[in-house]
Structure 1
């Protein structure tokens, strides 16, 4: 016991000092996935892609607003706070990739995140910016590039390089509001808000959260009734999700513990019966999260279900063992002997139920998503720790019990649990022991429910949310939707286009191909609603057209690709000489690779695959075989996740089902009973998947786990019930007597653990993150469905399969469960 407490104290220290939460979508991807590799190439070639977006609402074209905007930008540029990973890429931090996941964010030329940074190059004027600062660049109406021809020189000064007077504001408003590249990109259509985009140095997710928190203090300082500020963008959204998940994590852990404590008090009615099981599950959870912390594995939007899962599922072993121990104590057995007998009678089924749950969780190793694999690995580790504590730590606790029978009383006819179990037995049983209408009705009902549920399961649709996980009134969600509405989107698709042998970015044919591609992308409409999907396209083409217009008297009809190859080369050379850092945001130093950023409206990830397919196909057709097209960006990250969700579900569930079936057959040593026992294991899964399909609950990173977790829960009850049935049927040879014994010895513990599961997962309904609410609802439904399948349908099936008496010549009998 002392050793256990020492290890637990050490693990608590690890959780407090090293445990991390990463709510970004990129944290879900495997480091070796195609999407992950392409995203890293983007960062290698164009720098940091994490950007903060500040929406500043007010009268944009007023001196008060512009002065406030200038002061805000100055304070943001001066941010200086201690950060552990400032300026470091993943490979330079010496930490596991999963902890350092970054969510993709818009990058492109003069758009949300249009400053993709610099590739680390020694080329003069390219990438020679100083490092070591938190904020690399801030763009706003004040310093946005405005390409003009002035005094025989191409100028790329900011829009407000020459600070306007009050008298000049009407003309400034006219010029800005007539510029298509400004309206809905940097200023809304009404001139009532503008945006600042902030690009930071490379850093890990926790440090980005720190920057977001510090930025919020700056915004609070500058807020005024006529200057309303809201923070959006990928890092603030992930920070908000991280804070919300952490709050849910702490609250659900506490509520699960409290709920189980109350139920344990109701069941065992003595401190000794409460302390043991509670310490078992709490220590198992702490050991699990401590191990995650030491391994550098963060809690993600997938594994955030682990706290209550480990507490609720892990307590089952303790309940079964302690229930049998209590019965022996009630019969007057000496304490030590009661512990030994309880371990002997429940040990095998407890080990098998734990192994089946662990197998169900380890089946996630078949998945492609890294966060799913982590969830399976540490979930399995957690239930094994619960087993270890149940068979080692709990008996030590019980050894201190000298007199108490843990609230055990004689079971009376009026006992609620006894009446419920009696009803479950009676619906498929007649006094004569023959076939009954009730038994047939139960089986037909189960078959019908299974068929209807299967149809519903075919309606499952994968999804990958982000902002939708937050409550409707959460500031981060409100700000994100506001930015999407005012500025035409907050997500992006990016294309990396690099020239192969014979290809060249600095030529007219390539520019014409980009112009054609731009038109096809902007013309695309949502197949379901007919609404716009892409609202802007940013590329090196913009530089060429801007420069061409500037050198032709700023005439609108000159905003086009020059008529000759020499004209294209001249335009790019002029711009490079004037603003090499801006050109660097769009092409690499060797002019061999170009970045295209497509801003898209905020949608569910499942709505994006057709758009992505259209964009990639259009790009490949436009540029031809001399160029390679590689898509990336926030949208691609989300799409990459949902494209493997269903396949991950199928692979993990199929592997879990196969292994668990074999394990149950080996445990029961009866092929027929093992196969029949899979029916009550599968029906709850079909029912919960059917419920998801009919109710429209999406298959996301949390609900993906439901099938494998459900089979782990269902198998627990089935194994205990079938183990008792097999033992008594072999002994007595009578199906009704064997079932009656199973109800007596396993039924009560099954109801108790189901009640504990409902309490443990019921707390998810209090979560702020919506996908956790869905998860709690679905697991609660699964628990009820599994209890029905095991206590009502399973006995009916057994009476059909084992209707004849077949007394065995054995002696002894089970010692209880």
Structure 2
């Protein structure tokens, strides 16, 4: 057992010699790597689209792309226009001009829908005719009254072009679903007409969704047009998923900058107090920044964009990446004081190279268990955090020693070491270790009590994926969201595709009646609070009813599906020839697939999971086996995220625990002690989850990944503690001496990393994004508990398992070495 660790330490000894010998070449290569990484950084972008939550090959995205290929983008921009009379001549004239300005101003536009171009189907001598509602404006008050009567009596206008009470007009803007930009975002594709030197038309491949840059351009123009028309008699509120993305993206950018700056300030301010010298304040942040640059550069080269979740990569890496360089410097400064600069570097490599490497590997192991998560942003965050951690490890063991070898030793550094040994921090640390050794059962009871209390509160945890948690209810965005929801009955789309699997199969009496029944069912389902999930629905059935009413009379009662199928097919063909865009909103060109759109209220996706499952179950029982029903749209995708989160949590934590346990045993060099060392690493997670349950902080994509980060960081300190404890215990056979020496050497690094990490994560409490603040709070608590578990609970456990009769204990420990790995 002991032999392989001796060989590894000897290898690090020679590694230190090599770093000193080739230090200038190492620094030159580091500068080249940093320069190359810096060139890639401007290419990083942010993706806020809902489909960015899953990989392209995921069935959820495949279904959604199939829907978009038939019907375009379901993420609409909804404008609600309030006026004393939406059918007055002045309002209709302004609305038509407003509609025209939107159509003429917006890029990437697919359509603008309002009363200005609402299809009006009516009966004529030769059948039916279709015209726009506002083909001509009313010239007199009498004509305006006729428009009012026609509009209010038309069955397809309420909740589509104006609110049910007839007091607010609705304008819906739909943009293209596919980006007009090339893959690098710098050129327009070949189908951008009138542009010179554009790319040729690409082969049929999965297309990139409309980019955030394009979305910002569209929303910015809409805001400009709205400002021109905004008035007390033409009051405009607007929202929708594209508007949400427009507001969230700058919030994320600002938050990334603020958090990174705050974390760097924390490390620069705290380091001199901990180390007593300038290099301790500069080298760890510099090492972490180099690793972060490498991770971000590879992210840009791989064309992976930041999402709402993976945007936490820079601040997270700046926090957790400090552990390796801090541990190295703590040991180096003590060695430098005794044996000088060059020998100090070599001795530090031999003493701490292996545990620093293993702590980085255990952090990677904790993250790696989530690298194959079904949620793309979590997988991206984990994979590039792993890249950053490994890069920081290399810079810690290569670049930082090379820099130290050329720096001058500061006079008076020994005074800083003496001051620390006499400080309250060192005395408190030694006191905690002494308490664990002398009162092990008392310490164990305290931790068990805390664990039981936390375990009780874990039962209150719940999953969440609420896009609106970035905003307060008092914000202007939320005010407009709630206003539009209250007046329209929701504007987030749940899309149901009904595929008859044969041409013209959708024109079938039984199938249409089944779609109508599904519409009625969707509007009737309520949650446990009695609130409806769906505010309104729209499908091919509604268009058919409008045609039916035009052929018969709107005064003969509710519009119905005609029983004469041949006549119905003829009417649909006529509408398809005259206004094909009206028909293509609800079915494909072959009349094989029908579309049902259910507009839902904007809520936490976790509240929709059960509803979406019930919709699929109800639809499967309602339609014949030959009909394929697919439930998709932004609401369905968000609910799928909750299912992916639950499976990720179960699989990720289980795999992570076993990987870390194996690495812990390898790092400590003893099976029994390695398994014993895992106990202090479970408590921080249990207590952190309990705190989340008590404070009603949900499990979301932010703090889900925070759990595996917390495990990895907790194990880092545990490895350093048990690695050093075992070294001193083998020399003395005395638990108290081994704990005291361990805390006197490695304890300083444990405390330094904990203080800086906790301060770094708690800086997020000042974020204006609640989800980020919650994440920082929970991570800070978990790391504090992990520190106490290492310096208080670990000595107690070691005393209980190895301290019964010091001499006999030493013999038992030595005997176990023969059977360990």
Quickly name the TM-score band, shorter chain normalised.
0.7 to 0.9
Find the aligned partners of 1:166 and 1:725 in 2 and give their Cα distance: 94
Find the aligned partners of 2:571 and 2:127 in 1 and give their Cα distance: 12
Aligned to 1:786: 786
Check if 1:257 corresponds to 2:231. no
C-alpha deviations, 1:39-62, integer Å up to 9, x for none? 011112223334222233333334
Find the aligned partners of 1:141 and 1:515 in 2 and give their Cα distance: 25
C-alpha deviations, 1:63-99, integer Å up to 9, x for none? 4443433333222212366xxxxxxxxxxxxxxxxxx
Aligned to 1:693: 693
Q: Is the 8 A contact 1:503 1:626 kept in 2?
A: no
Find the aligned partners of 1:583 and 1:391 in 2 and give their Cα distance: 66
Counterpart of 2:357 in 1: which secondary structure?
Answer: helix
C-alpha deviations, 1:771-810, integer Å up to 9, x for none? 2111111111111111111111111111101113245899
Q: 1:802 to 1:490 in 2, by over 3 A?
A: same
Q: 1:288 to 1:478 in 2, by over 3 A?
A: farther
Counterpart of 2:631 in 1: which secondary structure?
Answer: strand
Check if 1:355 corresponds to 2:361. yes
Aligned to 1:4: 30
Shift of 1:479: 2.4
Q: 1:40 aligns with which of 65, 68, 78?
A: 65
Check if 1:164 corresponds to 2:126. no
The two structures have a TM-score, normalised by structure 2, of 0.87
C-alpha deviations, 1:479-499, integer Å up to 9, x for none? 222222221012221111111
Q: 1:64 to 1:441 in 2, by over 3 A?
A: farther
Counterpart of 2:78 in 1: which secondary structure?
Answer: strand
Aligned to 1:461: 462
Alignment of 1:501-540 (within 5 A): 504-526=505-527, 528-540=528-540
- Range with greater deviation from structure 2 (795-804 or 466-475): 466-475
Q: 1:144 aligns with which of 108, 118, 121?
A: 118
Counterpart of 1:554 in 2: which secondary structure?
Answer: coil
Find the aligned partners of 2:89 and 2:278 in 1 and give their Cα distance: 70
Q: 1:310 aligns with which of 281, 293, 317?
A: 317
Alignment of 1:232-271 (within 5 A): 232-271=239-278
Q: 1:724 to 1:169 in 2, by over 3 A?
A: same
Find the aligned partners of 1:75 and 1:7 in 2 and give their Cα distance: 51
Shift of 1:323: 1.3
Check if 1:670 corresponds to 2:644. no
- Range with greater deviation from structure 2 (225-234 or 746-755): 225-234
Alignment of 1:589-604 (within 5 A): 589-604=589-604
Aligned to 2:128: 154
Q: Is the 8 A contact 1:552 1:558 kept in 2?
A: no
Q: Aligned pair count?
A: 748
Q: 2:290 aligns with which of 265, 277, 283?
A: 283
- Range with greater deviation from structure 2 (317-326 or 144-153): 144-153
Shift of 1:162: 2.1
The two structures have a TM-score, normalised by structure 1, of 0.88
Aligned to 1:104: none
Q: Is the 8 A contact 2:77 2:173 kept in 1?
A: yes
Aligned to 1:187: 162
C-alpha deviations, 1:700-734, integer Å up to 9, x for none? 11111122111011101111111111111111111
Counterpart of 1:146 in 2: which secondary structure?
Answer: strand
- Range with greater deviation from structure 2 (173-182 or 542-551): 173-182
Alignment of 1:373-388 (within 5 A): 373-388=379-394
Counterpart of 1:399 in 2: which secondary structure?
Answer: helix
Check if 1:364 corresponds to 2:370. yes
- Range with greater deviation from structure 2 (582-591 or 202-211): 202-211
Q: Is the 8 A contact 2:436 2:794 kept in 1?
A: no
Q: Is the 8 A contact 1:468 1:477 kept in 2?
A: no
Aligned to 1:650: 650
Q: 2:346 aligns with which of 340, 344, 369?
A: 340
Q: 1:649 to 1:521 in 2, by over 3 A?
A: same
Aligned to 2:768: 768
Q: 1:727 to 1:576 in 2, by over 3 A?
A: same
Find the aligned partners of 2:272 and 2:459 in 1 and give their Cα distance: 43
Aligned to 1:707: 707
Check if 1:54 corresponds to 2:60. no
Counterpart of 1:410 in 2: which secondary structure?
Answer: helix
Computed over aligned residues only, the root mean square deviation of the Cα atoms, in angstroms, reads 2.2
Q: 1:704 to 1:412 in 2, by over 3 A?
A: closer
Higher helix proportion (structure 1 or 2): 2
Find the aligned partners of 1:719 and 1:186 in 2 and give their Cα distance: 65
Q: 1:482 to 1:138 in 2, by over 3 A?
A: same
Check if 1:486 corresponds to 2:487. yes
C-alpha deviations, 1:376-424, integer Å up to 9, x for none? 1111111111111111121122223323165723146751212321331
Find the aligned partners of 1:654 and 1:26 in 2 and give their Cα distance: 28
Shift of 1:543: 1.6
Alignment of 1:725-740 (within 5 A): 725-740=725-740
Find the aligned partners of 1:478 and 1:486 in 2 and give their Cα distance: 13
Find the aligned partners of 1:756 and 1:635 in 2 and give their Cα distance: 40
Q: 1:62 to 1:12 in 2, by over 3 A?
A: farther
Q: 1:761 to 1:67 in 2, by over 3 A?
A: farther
C-alpha deviations, 1:582-605, integer Å up to 9, x for none? 111111111111111111122211
C-alpha deviations, 1:199-252, integer Å up to 9, x for none? 222213222233223332333333334433333111121222222111111111
Shift of 1:752: 0.7
Find the aligned partners of 1:558 and 1:64 in 2 and give their Cα distance: 32
Q: 1:535 to 1:251 in 2, by over 3 A?
A: same
Q: 1:510 to 1:9 in 2, by over 3 A?
A: same
Q: 1:403 aligns with which of 381, 400, 409?
A: 409
Find the aligned partners of 2:540 and 2:325 in 1 and give their Cα distance: 65
Find the aligned partners of 2:44 and 2:712 in 1 and give their Cα distance: 27
Check if 1:477 corresponds to 2:478. yes
Check if 1:71 corresponds to 2:97. yes
Aligned to 1:560: 560
Find the aligned partners of 1:535 and 1:239 in 2 and give their Cα distance: 25
